[in-house]
Structure 1
Amino acid sequence: MKLVVRVKLLPTPVQAAALEATLHTCNQAATWAASVAFEKEARRPLELRKHTYAEIRFRWGLGAQAAQHAIKKTCDAYTALKANLRNGRYGRPGSRRHTRASGKPVVFRPQAAQPYDDRMLSWQHEQQTVSIWTTAGRLKNVAFTGQAEQLEVLAAHRRGESDLVFQGGKWFLIATCEIAEAAPNTHPAGFLGVDLGVVNIAVTSDGERHCGRRINRKREQDRKLRSELQKKNTKSARRRAKRHAGKEARRAKDINHKISKRIVAEAERTGRGIALETLTGIRERARLRKPQRTTLHSWPFAQLGAFIAYKAKRAGVPVVYVDPAYTSQECSKCHHTARGNRPSQAVFSCRVCGFVDHADHNASHNIRQRGWMAWVWGARSTAPELTLIT
């Protein structure tokens, strides 16, 4: 399976200037190539290369590999744009957004990421340095750092290209790693059901709750601060807003990593699989009061599901997905289903057998049972092919 590891570069001021100039030059070349691709309708690498390769090398002075990557990056951008247009990301055909997106060439930001292959970038893992190509020449002994686990994975499993990224005033290298999957557990002792929600981000059928109340309060504070800074719109307010940009997303990502790690570790320890609810349409299914809608729509449920899936795949833990319909209204003991079984958000009380439990805990039991039935009827584990380790 593929994992993506991000390590932080520690360049000197001179090295940082060379890296910045390299990104600007490569993205200028890619933007020009994108305009040629748009004009001549040449969206494939071989076809676009005939129109742009020599000019990119002559005008911008890029090396052969850098020129090839600029062309490929342009074609990849048009492929992504085509997929987004087809999937309705920019609205319906003929709408203003759709016409604006499809009616002009792709433009790359001056500091957009630049791919590097092994001819342009070499790693010295023992010294924790890299040798990297720039428009000013080859930079040697550029230091990098990261967590010990990251560096071990990087040294043992790195394969293919790496991306140079400038983000938040810091330099990063994002490397792709190929990791052998653990032998899958084809005879699980049962399944660990996981119910996802807003008040409790995740509740397992073992009774473990990952409460979201404290997290949601902090997120509400962040939203209020962001709103106040936007209304102020002074120079210092914009500077402060920029400093806090992405903070909420990074916190949510860290929480999702921790929750998924605990769930997978428990399933692996007990020899069980994991049953997750299908997340498709979760925002349309949930009926919430207006103050809660922002919380629902801003929490990355798909990211949490992806983290659980890839960690489980790496550990050999099977994962199945089940239909979550009526899991919150169905009694996990007698399976009577009725809206009246859930008198409040936190309480489940069966009208037939009298079973009482926490509503999310009851739902996780239903997901666990449906997961086991799905496995018996031939469902198999799935996981995403690419995940970021930070």
Structure 2
Amino acid sequence: MKLTVQVRLLPTPVQAAALEATLRACNEAATWVSGVAFEKDVRRNFALRRLVYDEVRARWGLGAQAAQHVVKKTCDAYATLRANLKAGNLGKPGSKRYRRAAGKPVCFRPRGAQPYDDRMLSWQTVERRVSVWTVAGRIKDVAFTASPEQLATLALHRRGESDLVCRDGMWFLNATCEIPEAPTNPDPVDFLGIDLGIVNIATTSDGEIMAGRELNRARVRERGLRARLQRKNTPSAKRRLKKRRRKEARRARDVNHKIAKHVVAEAERTGRGMALEDLTGIRERVRLRKPQRAAHSSWAFAQLGQFIAYKARKAGVPVVHVDPAYTSRTCAECGYIDKANRVSQAWFACRSCGFVDHADRNGSRNIRARAWELWRRGAPSTAPAPSRTPRSGTGRKRSITASDARCANPAP
């Protein structure tokens, strides 16, 4: 199973200048290569390399490996664009947004991530140093910081490429690691149902509630601060907006990681599988009033589901996704379904048998029961390798992500 370990580089000012010049050169070259690929309609790696390889090396002074990675990054960017177009993420074929996205070559941000292989980057994990190729020559003894667990993972399991990333003035290396998987438990004694929500981020069928009040209050504060700073529109306000733009996402990611780690550990300890709702397409199915839209849009249920999936796969815990229809209206005791059973956001009271429980706990019990029934019928574990590796999944690592390249109308 492939996971990505992120470590932070601590370069000197001279080293940082060399790294920045390298990213700019590589991304300028990639933008030019993208134009050639668009004009010639050549999107395959080796065919495109024959057209641009010599020019890339001569004009931007890139080494052989860097030039090859620039071409491969461009091809991967077009593969990502093609997948977004096919999936409808950029509108329907023939729409204005679709034509704008498909009608122009992909361009790359000056500080977009650049992949490095072992010929361009060497690790001294014990000394916490890396040696990195740059356009100014190879720079050695670039310090990095990481936790003891990350250092152990790097030393034992690092394989393949690493991505050099500059974000908010900080430098990072995302290193790909091959983590061994535990065999999936073929005979779980039961399932741990998990109901995902906004007010309560996760509620288990054991009755444990991971409330999201603190996270939601922080989101409201951040939205209010952004609104005030945007109204001011001064240079100082813009600097503060840029500094805080990822704070809410980092906080939500940290909370989701902690919740996923906790519930997977509980399922593993008790020999149970995990049951989740299949919430695919819920944003399109649900109609909300204007005050609720911001909270619903910032609900990171898909991220939490991905975290649970890869942590469960690593631990050998089976995961079953069930149909979420009527789980919040069905009585977990007698099975009676009625909209009126859901008295409020917090409470459930069955109109047939009188059973009263916390609404999310009742829903999680229904999820557990449905997963157990599916498993008895022979349903397989639905914890495949997620499609993205960095800190949120497993699977094949791509050299370019949607955040590194932008087209005329990028995917949301």
TM-score range, shorter chain: over 0.9
- Match in the other structure for 2:250: 250
- Match in the other structure for 1:389: 391
Secondary structure in structure 2 of the residue aligned to 1:331: coil
**Paired AA for residue 161 in structure 2:** E
Residues 144-155 of structure 1 aligned to structure 2 (within 5 Å): 144-155=144-155
Residues 37-56 of structure 1 aligned to structure 2 (within 5 Å): 37-56=37-56
- Match in the other structure for 1:188: 188
- What is the CA deviation profile of residues 54-103 of structure 1, one whole-angstrom value per residue up to 9, with x for unaligned ones? 11111111111000000000111111111111111211222222111111
User: TM-score normalized by structure 2?
Assistant: 0.92
Deviation at 1:288, TM superposition (A): 4.4
Alignment check: 8 A CA contact 1:306 1:383 kept: no
**Paired AA for residue 385 in structure 2:** P
- What is the CA deviation profile of residues 284-337 of structure 1, one whole-angstrom value per residue up to 9, with x for unaligned ones? 444544322211111111000000111111111111100010000001111011
Instruction: Supply the distance in 1 between the matched residues of 2:21 and 2:390 (Cα, whole angstroms).
Output: 27
Residues 220-369 of structure 1 aligned to structure 2 (within 5 Å): 220-286=220-286, 288-369=288-369
- What is the CA deviation profile of residues 335-366 of structure 1, one whole-angstrom value per residue up to 9, with x for unaligned ones? 01111111211111111111110111000000
Instruction: Supply the distance in 2 between the matched residues of 1:156 and 1:167 (Cα, whole angstroms).
Output: 27
- What is the CA deviation profile of residues 128-166 of structure 1, one whole-angstrom value per residue up to 9, with x for unaligned ones? 111111111111111111122112111111111000000
Instruction: Supply the distance in 2 between the matched residues of 1:107 and 1:293 (Cα, whole angstroms).
Output: 32
Alignment check: 8 A CA contact 1:192 1:272 kept: yes
Alignment check: 8 A CA contact 1:310 1:387 kept: no
Instruction: Supply the distance in 1 between the matched residues of 2:292 and 2:217 (Cα, whole angstroms).
Output: 11
**Paired AA for residue 187 in structure 2:** H
Instruction: Supply the distance in 2 between the matched residues of 1:289 and 1:374 (Cα, whole angstroms).
Output: 35
Instruction: Supply the distance in 1 between the matched residues of 2:105 and 2:264 (Cα, whole angstroms).
Output: 44
Cα distance change, pair 268–320 in 1 and its aligned pair in 2 (3 A)? same
Cα distance change, pair 288–198 in 1 and its aligned pair in 2 (3 A)? farther
Could you tell me which runs of 5 or more consecutive residues in structure 1 were left unpaired when the two chains were aligned.
none
**Paired AA for residue 9 in structure 1:** L
Could you tell me which runs of 5 or more consecutive residues in structure 2 were left unpaired when the two chains were aligned.
393-412
Instruction: Supply the distance in 2 between the matched residues of 1:33 and 1:250 (Cα, whole angstroms).
Output: 34
Deviation at 1:213, TM superposition (A): 2.0
- Match in the other structure for 2:78: 78
Secondary structure in structure 2 of the residue aligned to 1:388: coil
Instruction: Supply the distance in 1 between the matched residues of 2:324 and 2:144 (Cα, whole angstroms).
Output: 44
What is the count of residue pairs matched by the alignment?
Answer: 390
Instruction: Supply the distance in 1 between the matched residues of 2:147 and 2:240 (Cα, whole angstroms).
Output: 28
Cα distance change, pair 179–208 in 1 and its aligned pair in 2 (3 A)? same
Q: Which one is further off, 371-380 or 285-294?
A: 285-294
Instruction: Supply the distance in 2 between the matched residues of 1:18 and 1:215 (Cα, whole angstroms).
Output: 39
- Match in the other structure for 1:88: 88
Q: Could you say what the CA RMSD is over the residues aligned between the two structures, in angstroms? A: 1.2
- What is the CA deviation profile of residues 161-197 of structure 1, one whole-angstrom value per residue up to 9, with x for unaligned ones? 0000000100000011111101211111100000011
Secondary structure in structure 2 of the residue aligned to 1:94: coil
Whether 1:26 aligns to 2:19 is: no
User: TM-score normalized by structure 1?
Assistant: 0.98
Q: Name the % identity.
A: 65
Whether 1:376 aligns to 2:376 is: yes
